[in-house]
A and B are shown apart, each in its own frame.
Chain A
Amino acid sequence: MQRRGFLRCGAYCGLIGVAGSLVAAEGWQNPPRLQRPDPASDEGGLWAFLDREEARLKRSRFLLRDGPLNHYVSGVACRLAGDHCPDTRVYLVRSPFFNASMAPNGMMQVWTGLLLRMANEAQLAAVLGHELGHYLARHGVEQLRDAKARSAFGQFLGMAFGAAGVGAAGSLAQLALLGGSFAYSREHEREADRIGQELMLAAGYPPLEASTVWGQLFAELKAEEDWAGDAGTRSILFASHPDPEERSLAMAQNAATMGGSNADTGSEALAQQLRGHRREWLEDELRRRKSGETIALLQRLLAQSDNGELRFFLAETYRLRAAAGDSERALAAYGEAEARAGFPPELYRSRAMLQRQAGDEKAARESFQRYLSLRPDGDDVEMIRGYLREGS
């Protein structure tokens, strides 16, 4: 049903988009399909370059090749893009950071760290709509010309393809960041936000969810700053994007004038698609060691759906953070995870390590044994048996 909905939408959402844009978005009107630029022009050169990069991206080992998930996210993008759907391609990239990007040739990237953070389909639509906003308003091309005018073309490419703010990601530059760090001006970002909300409304999503996305992100960064004193200063998004709190407020104000607030957010539709991937993405998230952000994220996800898997990851975050009182917090959270469905057997291994460190040898042995009984073929059983010998 849903799929058919997307197809129908592909046929006429663009029209609704145009109708919608006539009444709002400060003069924004959905343009006709963008044509491939003359190869001899500056824009044509940029496209040729991007096409080559896209060919590389298609071969990337970091691309998620899961058919149903790709189909689903592309479907949401198409529902928003309307007539522009045939000109856009969505690629899902395995990277634990919050990021999505769209290059002027229609290549869109969505990172798994972003998907993990979406509470519902409408939030995903908000991000995709924002990126489509950059594309439809041709911000990338404007940016290119502006850079040329300022004799800053090298800098432009450096920003577009260099590691702008992604020390953490190192040489991601050529691949996943491509298009992502086009350093759009704040005006461009605001315009893309507005267009994104218009596209959401036209596609039947509540525009207020766009505000929630940034509110959530702000809460995570605030939690990180409170904990580590090092907020998102190095986050990919904040090199160029306006302050997320300011942005969230602006979008909430905008949504209040737009209507569409009763539309379905599609939280079950998204949850269904992400279910099979979440564990791997949460493992990637833990390796970032940004426990402030991770705890805020997990608490938000738990408020939406309380289950053993999320409680387990919350416990893991405390155990790995290993600050004062974290062992106790982790042990409590492992207990809560165990009382719910969905936790992995590794819970017993993690809990055993903490129980042993706390001096509770009897409980530790029981937990290690439990893990062995649940993962008899695990690749660490010899090590676990070694722990049991040590403790005897």
Chain B
Amino acid sequence: MSRSLLLLLVLFLSGCAAMAKIEPGEVKLGEAMTATPDSAWNRLAIGTPKNTEVWTSDGLPLDRLVFYVGIADGEPLAPLRERSDRQIPKFRAAMPAHEIVEMYEVFASYDGSTFQRGKLAPAQFASSEGFRFEFARVRKGDELDMRGVAYAAVRGGKLYMLVFEAARTHYYGKHLARAEAVARSVRIGR
């Protein structure tokens, strides 16, 4: 058995080791961002791409809060599985809000899910002039109705974005206010 397989097996068997508890209070996200949640969340501790943080309350299939921390000009939001060609959309510092949402759509629908943007409007995020958008998705894998809301701002030519997405039934309503509170608490350092 190769070492990586063994590692995978150990991680699989240890299960919850992949999650770490986030207590209320200031939390550092990457090197440039902080959030101050007023309630507890769980943080995915392994397997997240660079510049990405993933939190959840009831488990990743049901709700998730994803932070994209300082995506630089020319970088994609995240790697796309089994695809490395030049057409993966990259963030550009000059992108208006609509184009940032269009970029996000590609990642959100990559697995075959549908994506429908809802309201898009200017909003404060991380003490910056940013924007907020809502969306709905039918997730391909289990055909679950998902709803989401995201906040984003471009500062110093880098993109900072927070996406909350949850199952439309029960979980979206259950955690929306907490997710919005986290969004309001986000600060960008340096």
Chain A residues within CB distance 8 Å of chain B:
60-62, 94-95, 167-172, 175-176, 228-230, 234, 284, 287, 289-291, 320-322, 349, 353, 356-357, 379-380, 382-383, 386-387
User: CA separation between A234 and B80, bound complex, in Å?
Assistant: 13
Q: Are A380 and B98 in contact (CB under 8 A)?
A: yes
Flag if A382 contacts B112 (CB, 8 Å): no
Interface pairs (22), CB distance under 8 Å: A62-B114, A167-B81, A168-B110, A168-B112, A169-B112, A169-B140, A170-B111, A170-B112, A171-B140, A172-B112, A228-B85, A228-B86, A320-B89, A321-B87, A322-B92, A349-B98, A379-B118, A380-B121, A382-B122, A383-B121, A386-B97, A386-B131
Question: How many whole Å from B153's CB to the nearest CB in chain A?
Answer: 13
B186 to chain A, nearest CB (A): 20
Cross-chain contact A169 with B85 (CB below 8 angstroms): no
The segment from B12-20, B26-34, B37-45, B101-109 that touches chain A is: B101-109
Q: Is the CB of B131 within 8 A of A61?
A: no
Among candidates B88, B89, B120, residue contacting A379 with C-beta atoms closer than 8 Å: B120
CB distance from A322 to the nearest CB of B (A): 7
Q: A95-B112, A321-B87, A383-B122 are in contact. List 20 more A-B contacts (CB 8 A).
A: A62-B138, A62-B140, A62-B143, A94-B114, A167-B81, A168-B112, A170-B81, A170-B141, A175-B143, A229-B86, A230-B85, A234-B82, A234-B83, A322-B92, A379-B117, A380-B120, A382-B119, A382-B122, A383-B121, A386-B97
Say whether, besides A61-B143, A169-B111, A383 and B97 are in contact (CB < 8 Å). yes
Contact A172 B140 (CB under 8 A): yes
Q: Smallest Cβ distance from B155 to chain A, in angstroms?
A: 15
In the complex the two chains form, is A320's CB within 8 Å of B81's CB?
no
Chain B interface (Cβ < 8 Å from any Cβ of A): 81-83, 85-89, 92, 94, 96-99, 102, 105-106, 109-112, 114-115, 117-122, 131, 138, 140-141, 143
By DSSP majority rule, is chain A's interface helix, strand, loop, or mixed? Answer: helix
Pick the contact of B111 from A61, A171, A284, A320 — CB < 8 Å?
Answer: A171
Name the B residues within 8 Å of A170 (CB-CB): 81, 110-112, 140-141
Question: Are A353 and B85 neighbours in the complex by a CB distance under 8 Å?
Answer: no
A218→B99 CA distance, assembly (Å): 31
B99 and A353: CB pair below 8 A? yes
Q: Which of B94, B98, B110, B112 has the most CB of A within 10 A?
A: B112
Secondary structure call for the B interface:
loop
- For B106, what are the chain A residues with a Cβ–Cβ distance below 8 Å? 287, 289
Q: Are B112 and A176 in contact (CB under 8 A)?
A: yes
Residues of chain A with a CB closer than 8 A to B102's CB: 320
CA distance A380 to B122 in the complex (A): 9
- Output the nearest chain A residue to B88 by Cβ-Cβ distance: A289
CB of B131 within 8 A of CB of A357, answer: no
Q: Given the complex of chains A and B, what is the CA–CA distance between A126 and B98 in angstroms?
A: 40
B119 adjacent to A379 (CB under 8 Å): yes
Closest to A95 in B: B112
Q: Which residue of A lies closest to B117 (CB)?
A: A379
Q: What residue in chain A is nearest B134 (Cβ atoms)?
A: A379
Q: Which residues of B contact A357 (CB under 8 A)?
A: 94
The residues of B that contact A380 with a CB separation of less than 8 Å are 98, 119-121
- CB A26 to nearest CB in B, in angstroms, measures 38
Give the chain A neighbours of B112 by CB distance below 8 A.
62, 95, 168-170, 172, 176
Indicate if the CB atoms of B83 and A168 lie closer than 8 Å: yes
Q: How far is the CA of A131 from the CA of B97 in the complex (A)?
A: 44
A344 to B86, CA, bound (A): 29
Which of chain B's residues have a CB closer than 8 A to the CB of A287?
A: 105-106, 109, 115
Rounded to whole angstroms, the CA-CA distance of A167 and B80 in the bound complex is 9
User: Judging by beta carbons under 8 Å apart, are A60 and B143 in contact?
Assistant: yes
Using A172-B112, A349-B98, A386-B121 as known contacts, say yes or no to A167 and B82 having CB atoms under 8 A apart. Answer: yes
Closest chain B CB from A365 CB (angstroms) = 14
Bound-state CA distance A349–B98 (Å) is 9
CA of A54 to CA of B94 in the docked complex: distance in angstroms?
A: 47
A40 to chain B, nearest CB (A): 33
Chain A residues closer than 8 Å to B143, beta-carbon distance:
60-62, 175
Q: How far is the CB of A390 from chain B (nearest CB, A)?
A: 9
Q: Tell whether, in the assembled complex, residue A383 and residue B120 are in contact, meaning their CB atoms are under 8 Å apart.
A: yes
